[in-house]
Amino acid sequence: MFNLVLFGPPGSGKGTQSDKLVAKYGVFHISTGELLREEIAQKTPLGIEAKKFMDRGKLVPDEVVIGMVDSFFEKHKDAKGFLFDGFPRTVAQAEALDKLLDLKEMQLDAVLALQVSEEELIKRLLERGKTSGRSDDTNEEVIRKRFAVYNNETQPVADYYKKEEKFYAIKGEGSVAEIFAALCSEIDKRIM
Ligand code: AP5
């Protein structure tokens, strides 16, 4: 079993590929975006607060997200491995993840980063926005804000993991099956 971060910009296919990886390898999927959307659907105080940031394409504050991941860990104490999707998104979150895994006597094995052009990302997100009900998908201005946030706040996380020699880039364009095969090949080669 392993702990893996699936990294990449909005719309790069993290959620799509996570479902397939979880089915194949049996790791626990933790998507901070999904956890936040569940909080919004249940109209919890955390969800109401988070929505203000998400609707504008901004990141939810670190302490909120880290607290949420911490309680997810508490609820899944017996899990042998995790697939992180959309987390960490800041260097502070990456440092917090190291500490949380350390407490469980675990470590992060690899960060697989999906590389997709901005043009293709916008196309995918606007298309999804027609049916997803996600307010952050329907407005191109908000989508562009999400990219800017990704470039400014999340890209430094890539450098953090490059220094730790855990970062591997994967071509994220092509069919879902081709990308899945490339991810599995990297996992089987480097981790299993
Ligand atoms: P989050 O839910 O994490 O969204 P995201 O990173 O913006 O990513 P998406 O879900 O939009 O895309 P994805 O990479 O999962 O791609 P998908 O598989 O869906 O975050 C949303 C918001 O929550 C953030 O903006 C922030 O406000 C907040 N948040 C979340 N985590 C946070 C954190 N850690 N810290 C602070 N704030 C946080 O695919 C996209 C579309 O493309 C789909 O329609 C799919 O069918 C299609 N597609 C997938 N693969 C392909 C392919 N190969 N070819 C063609 N189409 C494809």
Does position 6 have pLDDT exceeding 80, yes or no?
yes
pLDDT higher than 80, residue 87: yes
pLDDT at residue 15, as a whole number: 97
CA of 94 to the centre of ligand 1 (A): 18
In this structure, is residue 144 part of a structural domain? yes
The answer to whether residue 106 sits within a structural domain is yes
Please give the mean pLDDT across all residues of the chain. 95
Q: Is residue 65 part of a domain?
A: no
Instruction: Please report whether residue 183 resides in a domain.
Output: yes
Check if 134 is active-site.
yes
Entry pTM: 0.96
Catalytic residue among 128, 162, 166, 190: 128
The pLDDT score that the predictor gives to residue 191 is 81
Counting DSSP H helices and E strands in the chain, the numbers are 10, 5
Is the shortest distance between the CB of 154 and ligand 1 below 6 Å? no
Class of residue 159 by CB neighbours under 10 A (exposed 0-12, middle 13-18, buried 19+): exposed
- What percentage of residues in the chain have a pLDDT greater than 70? 99
| 89 is annotated as an active-site residue | yes
For the sheet with 82-85, list strands across it: 28-31, 82-85, 4-7, 110-115, 167-171
Look up the CATH number of the domain holding residue 141.
3.40.50.300
**Residue 38 in domain:** no
Q: Give the model's pLDDT for residue 102.
A: 93
- The domain tally of the chain equals 1
Range of the domain at 133: 2-27+79-191
Average pLDDT over residues 126-155: 94
146 is catalytic: yes
For ligand 1, the distance from its centroid to the CA atom of residue 86, given in whole angstroms, is: 7
Render pLDDT for 141-169 as a digit per residue (tens, 0 to 9).
Answer: 999 999 999 999 999 999 999 999 999 99
- Judge if the beta carbon of residue 143 lies within 6 A of ligand 1: no
pLDDT of residue 104: 87
Residue 81 CA to residue 26 CA, distance in Å, equals 8
